[in-house]
């Protein structure tokens, strides 16, 4: 066992996983090769305004640096031997990302990596598939719905078949279109047009019609699942692995999209940092699943939620020396 620390810095949140990673088979197949020591998430909204300005805002940088200071203390306290920091969509898009890179390196003592969309997709699949049952020849589509981008990864038991990262996410679409509370019909139509265009782009690389199952990861999708399940609090154990029919998921997405900010904030499983962007996340997930039902000729009738995602993939990549 090796103790590692993985940090995933996205458009909306920054997350830390300190885990003991095994080099062989584990007794608990559901757990996979990672044993959590610490798993934390902070909403820092690093991507605030990036879609419009092309730059990371000073206040967003400071929120991210503050969280990284806390994570550095936890990493030291728990004796992680190796650390990897991966930054995704917002940082890729920012013209002043060197300020971010220098600040993280000074705080953490490691060089942060601004990873490509393709690598983000591969890491998401590795994390999600690490706790999925073997699927044989069946192809699974993993959808990682983030704040600034969404990754589509088709893979099977042998690994990734095709992947594409596209620039749609809950923060980006909220800032670009969904400005009213709740959003207007015209705003929803404009956002859906962006999602449809992004799906067309993803389909140029990823043969969506080959998928026999869909797995959704990241906070927007797991929160939608909590809403669909009617939970009294956020319960990862009930959310992880939950398979829901598309009609149930679509109804939950529409409900969240139609709510006011105040109504969403009152939901017992809603993280405060997701209140203002979950409507856009729901819109994206609803549109993706409608496309998957269409391209599969109705054979895909459900989707699975996974609490394991790119963060787990980053931790596994440390073990594998990537």
Q: 218 is written with which tokens?
A: 């990241």
| Separation between Cα atoms, residue 232 and residue 138, nearest integer Å | 35
| Separation between Cα atoms, residue 314 and residue 84, nearest integer Å | 7
Phi/psi at 130 (nearest 5 deg)? -65, -20
Rounded to a whole number, what is the distance in angstroms from the first to the last CA of the chain?
17
H or E element that contains 150: strand 150-156
**pLDDT tens-digit map of 191-233:** 999 999 999 999 999 999 999 999 999 999 999 999 999 999 9
Residue 134: per-residue pLDDT: 55
| Separation between Cα atoms, residue 70 and residue 186, nearest integer Å | 42
* Three-class secondary structure assignment of 283-318: HHHHHHHHHHHHHCCCCCCEEEEECCCHHHHHHHHH
| % the chain with pLDDT above 90 | 76
Distances (CA, A) of 24 to 21, 177, 322: 9, 47, 17
Q: 304 is written with which tokens?
A: 């699975």
What DSSP character marks residue 123?
H
Q: Beta 302-306 vs 213-217: how paired, if at all?
A: parallel
**pLDDT tens-digit map of 243-295:** 999 999 999 999 999 999 999 999 999 999 899 999 999 999 999 999 999 99
Put the strands of the sheet holding 82-87 in their side by side order: 34-43, 13-21, 2-9, 82-87, 113-114
* Residue 29 pLDDT > 50: no
């Amino acid at each position: 066992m090796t103790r590692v620390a993985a940090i995933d810095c996205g458009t909306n949140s920054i997350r830390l996983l300190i885990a003991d990673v095994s080099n062989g088979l584990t007794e608990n197949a559901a757990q996979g090769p990672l044993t959590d020591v610490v798993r934390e998430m902070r909403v820092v909204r690093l991507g605030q305004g990036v879609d419009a300005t092309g730059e990371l805002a000073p206040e967003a940088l400071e929120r991210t640096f503050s969280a990284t200071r806390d994570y550095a203390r936890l990493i030291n306290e728990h004796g992680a031997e190796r650390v990897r920091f991966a930054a995704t969509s917002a940082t890729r898009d920012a013209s002043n990302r060197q300020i971010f890179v220098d600040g993280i390196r000074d705080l953490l003592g490691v060089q942060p990596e601004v990873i490509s969309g393709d690598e983000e997709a591969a890491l998401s699949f590795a994390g999600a598939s690490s706790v999925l049952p073997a699927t044989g020849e069946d192809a699974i589509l993993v959808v990682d719905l983030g704040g600034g981008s969404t990754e589509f990864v088709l893979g099977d038991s042998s690994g990734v078949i095709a992947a594409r990262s596209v620039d749609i996410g809950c923060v980006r679409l909220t800032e670009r279109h969904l400005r009213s509370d709740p959003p207007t019909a015209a705003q929803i139509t404009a956002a859906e047009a962006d999602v449809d265009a992004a799906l067309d782009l993803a389909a140029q690389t990823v043969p969506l019609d080959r998928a026999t199952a869909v797995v959704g990861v990241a906070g927007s999708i797991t929160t939608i699942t909590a809403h669909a399940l009617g939970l009294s609090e956020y319960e990862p154990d009930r959310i992880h692995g939950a398979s829901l029919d598309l009609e149930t998921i679509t109804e939950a997405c529409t409900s969240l999209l139609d709510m006011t900010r105040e109504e969403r904030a009152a939901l017992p499983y809603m993280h405060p940092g997701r209140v203002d962007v979950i409507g856009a996340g729901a819109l994206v997930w609803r549109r993706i699943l409608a496309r998957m039902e269409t391209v599969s000729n109705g054979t895909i009738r459900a989707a699975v939620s996974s609490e394991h995602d790119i963060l787990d993939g980053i931790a596994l990549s440390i073990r594998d020396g990537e």
